[in-house]
Structure 1
Amino acid sequence: MFDLQAKKTLSVSLPIIIGELIQFSLHLIDTLMVGQIGYRELAAASLVNSVINIPFVLGVGITSSVAQMVSAANGQADHAKVSHYFFNGFTLCLLAALLIAGGLDLGRNILFHLNQDAMVAILAARYLHVLCWSLLPMLLFLTLKQFADGLQKTKAAMCLSVLALPMNIFINWLLIYGHWGFGAMGLVGAAYGTLITRWVLFLVFALVLLFHSEFRHYFSAHRNQLQWSAAAIRRLLQIGIPASIQAGVEVFAFALSGILMGMLGPVQLAAHQIVMGCATFAFMGAFGFAQGSSIRISTAWGKSDAGEIWLIGKGALAMALVYGLLCALFFFLGSALIPALFNNDAHVISLAAMLFVFAAIFQVISSVQIVSTSILRGVRDIKAPTKIISIAYWVIGLPLGYLLAFRLGAGAAGIWIGLLTGLGLSAITLSTRFIRKNKIVNTIQPIKI
């Protein structure tokens, strides 16, 4: 039964994993193509990613509430409620996306007050001015994806993401370097490439949901459910806000680590961008599996099936550990070779090779941590994990990293050691929290959605 549940979870998760890897590949491709211009452009991209990830992840947390409520309604076979929560979730996420994109654009001058290299800050401000508006179509796409994922129809978003990859590469090639009559726009060209690709991705997915036979009946057969509801918004926010805070606390910690790297110098920031980009790319596999696990557990939660929740959770944790170990082995073996793919500066390559050793450890710990967080979210255990993550990063991890890097002279390695310490404590505590089977089983009550 344990193996069967693991296989079912993997079946739901695999398209999500592929989609997440491809989506992050768009970011990784930008890093590769921008890195060929120069290390200051690479550092500027890293700085913007550090700043933009914080509000973006807050938006992603809001979109995650759609999958949770849709999957719970689907578990109770209530198709009208599925439509109702999708409509209200999309409206909520549209408002959140507009606020996030507009706020980033209006506040982009903060980049000049983060004690960064002057040229890096100038390049970053121009990049952010365009890139921030790509969050609007991206968050709307993710809302549609969360709806489909909540129904365990995970292949559509994956297929569209596959098509987006070559399109993004082609547009980047045109705009970054200047081909076919286009002027070379450099770093800003990468931002426009991302903006265009994300709008196409969202619009095509919207058409698929409206007209495909697997989805269209949720819009046509239940039109009376497509209306604003304060109660539905409140339920979505009860999940979305804690999820946003939970993710935001963690991502803010990593974003601050990027800013701290920039304070050490542009070489350290560029090396950190390479390593963190690769580490995050590999992490997307665990992240996608965590989403699939959470959706399956939320569906079982809708059915009040405690035994199934326990089996799904155990299988998910075991597979997360295996995946993390495989990624760690790859990073250990490739630590001296991977950095040269992104940049040709000898100092950047040397530092990045050293940091890849820390990134290898990161893979194991982060895989267990994200799956633990997600399966707990599936049983609506959100507040306590948020406190645990906050303490692990902000009371222990970041202060330790700052102390090692700036007071004890450990430099970039010190920041990574601090992050890994906080992440490790979080992973151990959260996985232990779920493994206490009696606690999980005893909290399950028939739920009203």
Structure 2
Amino acid sequence: MVNEAKSTMKLALPIIFGELAQMALHIIDTAMIGNIGNYKQLAAAALVMSVINIPFVFGIGITFAVSQMVSMAHGRRDGQLVSHYFYNGFWLCAIAALIISGGLELGKNILFHLGQDAEVARLAVPFLQLMGWSIIPMILFMALKQFTDGLEFTRTAMLLSILALPINVFINWLLIFGNWGFPRLELVGAGFGTLITRSLVFIVLGLVILSHKTFRKYVAVRSNQWKINRATMQRLLQIGVPSSLQIGMEAGAFCISGIIIGTISPVAQAAHQIALVCASFTFMVSMGLAQGGSIRTSNAFGRKDWTKINAIGRSTLIMALMYGIFCAVLFTSLRNYLPAFFTKENETGAKEVASLAGYLLLFAAIFQISDSTQAVSAGLLRGIKDVKTPTILIAVAYWVVGIPFGYIMAKQFHLGAVGIWLGFIIGLTLSSLFLSIRFLRISGKNKLIPG
């Protein structure tokens, strides 16, 4: 089991660094926006992310189908099929990206009808437009990344994600604060920074795949395999849509909760954004670990090696449990220090925002273990192509139990943002239990059956 853990971590580590780099872009944006000197700009950013994350995460879920099918074909050592899944998967993701971005553009005025502070909604609209269009290069980049990850070449995308950090910081510095003669665009400047950075990393990764010798054999068969196939699209959707619904329901729970908190006060919304950004950053490690475990189980699933699948799953879940405990201790220890990075000391309302954010981080600490294990369990189940039942289980955990409980605590018991975060704890814990038990039961049962 130790050897399996090492193999999974070797594959997952570059994915984790890449995920952290992507999340760091968001944290940098949040921190720089928070230092503009108007906490309503931070609240506007929180509102936009709450609205945009549900469709965005749905698009990311579609990209998961690329790594799953590519990894399974790679496990069978079928390079032609790898190329075929890559091409069809890329265009499926492109269609999804265009639909999502177009829908956000057409529906941007919904921000004025969510019961939010009027100035927050006004500031949020142009930021939503820019972030909406930046989804296209981001999802296309993720489609290419899932292809390389599925082949277990994970370092290229990681390096690009890390290199994007200083580019994003520099563009933000120019456009948010109006340095070097550029206009001071504040929140809109952060939107332009994200759009430009995401476009650059997509273009560069595309050029690498088309030209590098590592991927040459998959490009070489393009005349035979780079054709749109309806049956292939359906197979990709059978993995992609449930995967999208799974992560979309979790992200949706946080997003809807953010909108509910926004009806309480801009201070509560800004504090929620700070605590959520911190929790999302640590979650990226769990996501990377989940993708590493998912790719390895998918590869073994292609060979029907259930003993291997069970060993990979158990070792990955143990790593997730240990990581969750570490994060819980970290958040508890740093809860009074982390909010300072996202607020301007002399700003009106900054002390209230920082104080509430620190309190919410205590609740984030509590759900770190369940958040990590549920992400990994969902990834392992995707690896064995079990996606329908887990989607139902996740729906029950978040939307039948977690969100209603949080809403009642927030509104009926007047706990505000704290009530919503209690709902997070309930939903994540149930999801973790449901999914972990299901994977262990399926993999344990099948490994006893002779291949």
TM range (shorter): over 0.9
How far apart are residue 440 of structure 1 and its match?
A: 5.0
Q: Secondary structure of 2:181's partner?
A: coil
Contact 1:434 1:440 (8 Å CA) reproduced: no
Alignment correspondent of 1:276: 276
1:111-260 correspondence runs (5 A):
111-260=111-260
Q: Is the 8 A contact 1:47 1:124 kept in 2?
A: yes
5 Å matches for 1:298-447? 298-343=298-343, 344=345, 345-436=350-441, 440-441=445-446
Say if 2:398 and 2:427, in contact at 8 Å, map to a contact too: yes
- Cα pair distance change 1:189/1:4, threshold 3 Å: same
Match of 1:30 in 2: 29
Aligned counterparts of 2:211 and 2:352: Cα–Cα separation in 1: 53
In 2 relative to 1, CA 240–372 (structure 1 residues): closer, same or farther, beyond 3 Å?
A: same
Answer yes or no: is 1:18 the counterpart of 2:17. yes
* Coordinate RMSD, CA, aligned: 1.3
Offset at residue 324 of structure 1 (A) = 0.8
Aligned twin of 1:82: 82
Q: Displacement of 1:52 after TM fit?
A: 0.5
| Residue range with higher mean Cα deviation, 437-446 or 312-321 | 437-446
Q: Matched residue of 2:227: which SS? A: coil
Cα 1:5–1:93 change in 2 (3 A) is same
Q: Distance in 2 between matches of 1:312 and 1:77?
A: 20
Mapped to 2, the partners of 1:16 and 1:230 lie a distance apart of 30
Tell me the amino acid that sits aligned with residue 153 of structure 1.
Answer: F
- Whether 1:98 and 2:98 are equivalent positions in the alignment is yes
Q: Distance in 2 between matches of 1:248 and 1:353?
A: 27
* Cα distance per residue 1:119-159 (max 9 Å; x no partner): 00001111101111000000000000000000000000001
- 1:216 CA drift (Å): 2.0
Query: Structure 1 residue 445: deviation in Å?
Result: 11
Q: For residue 223 of structure 1, report the CA deviation from its aligned partner.
A: 2.8
SS at match of 1:228: coil
Unaligned runs of 5+ in 2: none
CA contact (8 A) 1:175 1:183 kept: yes
Normalised to the residue count of structure 2, the TM-score between the two structures is 0.97
Q: After superposing the two structures, state which structure 1 stretch, 77-86 or 416-425, moved more.
A: 416-425
Distance 2:442 2:141 in 1: 36
Q: TM-score, normalised by structure 1?
A: 0.97
Size of the aligned set, in residue pairs, is 445
Structure 1 152/428 Cα, relative in aligned 2: closer, same or farther at 3 Å?
A: same
Question: 1:322 offset after TM fit, Å?
Answer: 0.6
Q: Name the CA distance, whole Å, in 1 between partners of 2:442 and 2:130.
A: 48
Contact (CA 8 Å) 1:17, 1:284: kept in 2 or not? yes
Identical aligned pairs, as a percentage?
A: 53
- In the aligned structure 2, how far is the partner of 1:30 from the partner of 1:132? 15
> Distance in 2 between the 1:13 and 1:293 partners?
8
CA–CA distance in 1 between the matches of 2:312 and 2:300? 9
Cα 1:241/1:262, change in 2 over 3 Å: same
Tell me the residue number matched to 2:109.
Answer: 109
Question: Cα distance 1:196–1:387, how it changes in 2: closer, same or farther (>3 A)?
Answer: same
